[in-house]
Amino acid sequence: MTTPLLSFCIATFNRATYIAQTLDCLVAELADDIEIVVLDGGSKDETESIMRRYAAAFPGIRYVRQATNLGVDRDYDGAVQAARGRYCWLMTDDDILKPGAVAAIRAALLAEPSLVVVNAEVRDSLLGRVYEPSRLKITEDRTFATRELGDLLAVAGELLTFIGSVVIRRDVWLARQREPYYGTLFIHVGVIFQAALPGFAHVVATPWIAIRYGNAMWRPREFEIWMFKWPSLVWSFAAVPDWSKSAVTAREPWRDPFRLMFYRAKGTYWRADFERLLRPRMQRGMARFVAWFVSVLPGSVLNAMVLAYFRRFHPTHGAVISDLLGSCFHHRNWKVARDSRK
């Protein structure tokens, strides 16, 4: 059997509403040297029936279903293990590729990099409005030698919170440690930055992926993820210098009261978060008092203030404004909730 050049590796769970749109954009790019591997973590919705229909219609699609959900990190690792391609594109189950994406990445793979990082744009949940035209702050492709792992993190670290940006050589993935990163939600980042890559990395400046914003299944846990899990992972890498880690995230961002107010305004920082996550880490004093105080501030007032600030000074930050408008503290939403109880 001929080894495919590229395997799209998708881990999915309860995405019946979106996965068909993702698959439609991928099957249009299918060729003899491209396959699609979908690992289902035991979906309870219509995902299985949709996937079996697509697998029957397109020989290039393989569907692997697990009895239970083992978590996103294990599922992506399992999808790569099930793949046969020389390279694996860790595609998401609700986003789409823009026309020409596969041709562009195929061209980048001709140079045989260890890793390709694909830029993305951010759209609303219906993929209509563009919130952020480019997640990368570069306008031309960049190449990073194996010794430039820190530079790679500084340039692409923020984008790499999105797993769909990763195209990695399968043998590189399989040769590196993966189990220590189960449960981090960012296994791909652990695989990439745990040690110097065996070859160069190529970062594509053109945004070839459209991210469907506001659809992440981890949204209720975002305070813990961005204040603790993500910085803990980034600062664990001994192979990259501290300056590059600082370019991506502070070591302890939860110490910043303004960040706490932002998450409180979004409705994702509560007294329970303070008690569970902050109190054990903070000594008695003003800093701990401020963290507690923010956790009990009237969320509706803070939401209105932060929303007014972004609308006035950062009106192009559509994703942030969308989060604030979707907060349980936004007056439109608590009125709906109040009326529903009548």
For helices 286-296 and 257-266, angle between their N-to-C axes, nearest 10 degrees: 10
Which of 231, 215, 243 is CA-nearest to residue 154? 243
- Tokens, residue 143: 């190449």
Rounded to whole angstroms, the Cα distance separating 155 from 167 reads 16
What pLDDT score was predicted for residue 336?
43
At residue 85, the pLDDT reads 97
pLDDT of residue 216: 72
- pLDDT in 10s for each residue of the chain, 342 residues: 689 999 999 999 999 999 999 999 999 888 889 999 999 999 999 999 999 999 999 999 999 999 888 999 999 999 999 999 999 999 999 999 999 999 999 999 999 999 999 999 999 999 999 999 999 999 999 999 999 999 999 999 999 999 999 999 999 999 999 999 999 999 999 999 999 999 999 999 999 999 999 877 677 799 999 999 999 999 999 999 999 999 999 999 999 999 999 999 999 999 999 999 999 999 999 999 999 999 999 999 999 999 999 999 999 999 999 999 999 999 877 554 444 444
Is-contact 274 292, C-beta < 8 A?
Answer: yes
List 115's β-bridge partners, or say none: 168, 201
Predicted pLDDT at 334: 58
Q: Does domain 6-212 have CATH number 3.30.420.10?
A: no
Give the span between the Cα atoms of 267 and 265, in whole angstroms. 5
Beta strands of the chain (E only): which ranges? 6-12, 34-40, 61-65, 87-89, 96-97, 115-123, 130-132, 142-144, 166-169, 201-212
Q: Which amino acid, one-letter code, is at 125?
A: S
The CA-CA-CA angle for residues 93, 192, 184, to 5°, reads 60
Residue 9 pairs with which residues in a beta bridge? 37
Residues 6+ apart with CB under 8 A from 278: 254, 288, 291, 292, 295
AA identity, residue 173: W
Identity of the residue numbered 118: V
Neighbouring residues of 18: CB distance < 8 A, sequence distance ≥ 6: 93, 94, 212, 215
The domain spans of the chain are 6-212, 252-340
Which helix (H) or strand (E) covers residue 301, if one does? helix 299-313
Per-residue b or e along 29-50, where b marks 16 or more CB atoms closer than 10 Å to that residue's CB: bbeeebbbbbbbbebeeebeeb
Q: Looking at the DSSP assignment, which residues form a beta bridge with residue 209?
A: 97, 120
Q: Which amino acid is at 44?
A: K
Q: Is 119 helix (H, G, I), strand (E, B) or coil?
A: strand
CA-to-CA distance for 156 and 215, rounded, in angstroms? 22
**97, 164 contact by CB (below 8 A):** no
Query: What span, in angstroms and rounded, lies between the C-alpha atoms of 284 and 158?
Result: 33
